[in-house]
Chains A and B, each alone.
Chain A
Amino acid sequence: MRGATATISRDLGRILEALGVVVFASILVTLVWREFYAVPAMVISGAIPLGIGIALRRRFSDAAQPGKLHGMMVAATGWAAVGVFGSLPFILIAWTIAVDPAALSAPDLTGRAASTVAAFQHPLNALFESMSGFTGTGLTMTDNEEALPRTLQWWRTIIEWVGGVGVIVLTTAILARPGSGSLTLYESEARSEKIHPSIVSTVRTIWWIFILFTFTSILVLWLAGMPIWGAINHGMTGLATGGFSITDNSIATYDSALIDFALLPVMILGSIAFPIHYLILSGDLENFYTDLQTRWMFGFFGVGSALLTGVVYLRGTYDSLFAAFRYGLFQFVSAMSCTGFQTAVDSTNIALGRWPMGAQLTVTFGMVVGAAAGSTVGGIKLIRLATLLKGIRFRIIDVFYPESAVRRLKINNRRLTETEASQEFEEAAIIALLWLLFLIVGATVLMAVLPAGEYTLENILFEVASAQGNVGLSAGITGPGSLPTLGKVMFLFNMWIGRLEIIPVVVLLRGVLKRGGMY
């Protein structure tokens, strides 16, 4: 176990180093916006993970390369650690504004702006925001995003952008050398796709695609009429399917159908697996329909949006068919892509939490399923749904064939042997089952801690599915004051397991409990 601790510590150190670099790079934004009072807070926030990271990496530099068990533990501890250390800018800037140490000329905030920033003086709120950002969830402890210092607006954006691809993918791209156990770590972060034989080349290509599409997304939104600061932030969080906004009412603030429609391709780009992007950019356009996940994704987007449009129109939520289509299409794509941008809010129309039950459950279904594995989305993911459905069909039809018949299960143009089919079916079933199990646990905890009668069951299921699916749409439950402490802790856990697809976290917990003699 000592060897395992060394390996995990060394790799955790590398992740913290990468986090420190991201914090220090973000100080540029602080300087550009002339928020000089925030510089000390950012320097401290970067120095702590960087210092600990360097110390861990040097202390355990001769540790063994990670095996599968180590890889899962590194992923689970690494994501928890970036959540914890990523909360430092929120806490330190909030306290800098509150006490203005050393006369840093911090702004004197009043009203909602003051309460919005003050919420981050509480470490649990800051940790929630950080974990929500890194996991690409987008649920927030912020009351009014517009009132946040630009540094914190940017910090929320950059952690979603990095988290969308993955902190281990970032670390591997920057710090890893070929053959340094990178594949094991890469696979433990809910990724299995390879674009090149080398995993280091693969992650660099993933970043290449992601950066190119980030520029594209920013320009699309700017051309649609969004101011450039909004376009930069929403382009990054939209592509990362994170959903943090810099405006008070998410995308509804703009109240522009053109911006709503311009965000659809951004969210869709984030929902397609990176290897498919690479093939399409290389000229293999047929992957739009030959790849099972991409084909199913467009199918689900189409059917789900049509269904949602029908429900909200026929139930009278919206007066015109165009309004029903505009909000139904946007909210279903936002849900299933696990982005969490919201256009249906009370101030401009009817909030999601007050949509008809059928509409809320349709959105919930989208959040639970998610889009393509290998992209930036959360949820169970389409390939697992396909494996489950095709596997069940295969088993049932198998009964009608003679015992001597040799049959192969075909998934996404791959013909699987009996053993391979059983393995993939088993994995998909286990993750889907655990996903639903933790959904029920989260809903039960929420029902216990929320005031009786204030929220409906569909509201609660919606919110927990949103947290665990790393979506970020809210029925109005999540907030610094509205969500009790135990609910926040539960959601932290839901977001963490949702991002890592549960198994690595369960493995880590088992390891910890076993070491503590409790298992």
Chain B
Amino acid sequence: MSRALGPFGAVLRRDLLLAWRGRADVLVTLAFFVVVVCLFPFGVGAETNQLRSIAPGVLWVAALLATLLSLHRLFAQDHADGTLEQLLLSPEPTVLWVVAKILAHWIATGLPLVLVAPALAMLFDVDQGALGILILSLTLGTPILALLGAVGAALTLGLRGGGMLLALLVLPLFVPVLIFGAGAVDAHLSGTGADAHILLLGGGLLGALALAPIACAAALRIAVD
């Protein structure tokens, strides 16, 4: 393993292990996602055609809210026990281990949502052919949410009422992801093809991967300073 991957792998392994040891927390995020999605038929009525048409949007909004609620755990624990300070003091590049932390966070909270989403889509009677597009859009989109959210989580680290503030900061930034993510499934169902949406999501993911860790690292340094 090359030298640069050393700290990356170490932080990734550590965070995944921590997530595994505290898997109840992770399951709560997943349960929240399922419950929110299941609430919609009660709110808008169980008419099949209507459910089918709102399904992509409902799944995406629920995934977005579940991501938002899990974000505070990204740095809070490490901030409280001083690990974050030690990581910042270490000579390893901050951006590198920030990406590792975000990746571990996404594997623990984002990936389960992606895997459960098709089952929930069945509850809304979504066309089977669109399930692949739904999984693809969520696979590309939820990491963007995690990356953007990490910047907000770092900025609101240790603040009173940080949760609400975090929502106000990051939800407007999530709008493009929501549009293209839910739009991909809609476009596939309407027959226009989801290529453009998927490509834009992929581009968004690369852009976020390039820029968000830098902003996140700067925000962490300010927060711990």
- A and B bind: no
